[in-house]
């Protein structure tokens, strides 16, 4: 049976993420649509246009996950909730929206925990760190979050240039979940991130998948460019199913 699957996989035409129908019904768990609060979309019009495009493609549910980090001090839960509530009046019909956040593991993260975290589905906390150097607090943060019954979810692990295969396994064994950035598969963040993303995907290391969208045209360019064999489509389908559990 394995041989047969390999045969079909080899000769089936590859499909892009869009051609495979993966936007249809998707729950996106990582995005920067909330206008004017971080390096993502800047105006209400841009966000509305992007969301309308997602509705056309059948995207069903989206978490807005603006950056919360010491470098953007105004981004506190109360402020973001207010902006989110204001934006929802402008949002196109046909799509459900929720607010969470992407937390940078910097000096402010402990204070953020005190203030109350914006989570995915009540328990999962989307975290990120510097791409260039390891966060000395990472292991402690993972432990602390778990003590408080949160589930740490590391955004785009493929983008951290200092991580090696052993570290990916070690963090995973400590209970940290991994979220693939879709655009890593087509090289948006460079060759190394692309290679690591395919390695982690093919080795079943990811738990969820997100767009991490900042600009509509960049995202659409990449989701049309990612070419997937049947086997790779199945791997992504599994992650997409997991995303639904966070709603």
Does residue 28 belong to the site contacting Fe ion (CB under 5 A)? no
Nearest distance in Å: CB 66, Fe ion: 9
- Nearer residue to Fe ion within complex by CB, 67 or 76: 67
Q: Which is nearer to Fe ion, 20 or 151 (CB)?
A: 151
User: How far apart are CB 163 and Fe ion at their closest, in Å?
Assistant: 17
Q: Give residues with Cβ within 8 angstroms of 48, minimum separation 6.
A: 90, 91, 92
Instruction: Return the range that interacts with Fe ion (CB under 5 A); candidates 115-123, 167-175, 211-219, 234-242.
Output: 211-219
Cβ-Cβ contacts under 8 Å for 186 (sequence gap 6 or more): 194, 222, 223, 225, 226
- Residue 63 vs 232, nearer CB to Fe ion: 63
For Fe ion, which residue has the nearest CB?
A: 212
Using alpha carbons, select from 234, 34, 227, 38 the residue that is nearest to residue 128.
38
d(CA 62, CA 181): 15
Stretch that binds Fe ion, among 53-61, 96-104, 108-116, 161-169 (CB under 5 A): 96-104
Q: Would you say 207 or 212 has its CB closer to Fe ion?
A: 212
- Exactly one of 28, 38, 158, 212 binds Fe ion (CB under 5 A); that residue is 212
- Residue written as token pair 């999962």: 124
Contacts of 246 (CB under 8 A, 6+ apart): 27, 29, 63, 120, 121, 124, 208
Q: Six-digit token pair at 65?
A: 């996950």
Q: Does 102 bind Fe ion (CB under 5 A)?
A: yes
Which C-beta is closer to Fe ion: that of 212 or that of 232? Answer: 212
What do you get for the CA distance between the two ends of the chain, in Å? 35
Q: Which of 126, 122, 136, 186 is CA-nearest to residue 157? A: 126
Smallest gap from residue 245 Cβ to Fe ion (A): 20
Q: Least distance to Fe ion from the beta carbon of 213, Å? A: 9
For residue 146, the minimal CB distance to Fe ion (Å) is: 22
- The footprint of Fe ion (CB under 5 A) covers 102, 212
């Amino acid at each position: 049976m394995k041989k047969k699957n390999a045969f079909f996989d080899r000769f089936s035409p590859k499909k892009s993420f869009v051609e495979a129908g993966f936007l249809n019904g998707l729950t996106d768990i990582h995005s920067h649509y909330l206008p004017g609060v971080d390096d993502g979309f800047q105006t209400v019009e841009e966000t509305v246009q992007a969301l309308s495009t997602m509705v056309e493609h059948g995207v069903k549910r989206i978490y807005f996950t603006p950056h919360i980090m010491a470098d953007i001090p105004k981004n506190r839960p109360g402020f973001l909730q207010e902006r989110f509530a204001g934006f929802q009046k402008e949002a196109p019909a046909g799509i459900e929206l929720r607010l969470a956040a992407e937390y940078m593991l910097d000096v402010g993260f402990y204070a953020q925990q005190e203030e109350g975290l914006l989570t995915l589905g009540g328990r999962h906390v989307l975290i990120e760190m510097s791409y260039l150097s390891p966060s000395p607090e990472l292991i402690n943060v993972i432990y602390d979050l778990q003590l408080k019954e949160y589930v740490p979810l590391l955004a785009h692990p493929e983008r951290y240039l200092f991580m090696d295969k052993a570290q990916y396994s070690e963090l995973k064994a400590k209970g940290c979940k991994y979220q693939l950035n879709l655009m890593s598969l087509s090289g948006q963040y460079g060759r190394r991130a692309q290679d690591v993303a395919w390695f982690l995907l093919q080795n079943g290391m990811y738990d969820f998948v997100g767009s991490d969208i900042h600009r509509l045209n960049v995202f659409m360019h990449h989701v049309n460019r990612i070419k997937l064999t049947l086997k790779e489509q199945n791997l992504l389908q599994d992650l997409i199913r997991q995303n639904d559990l966070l709603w």
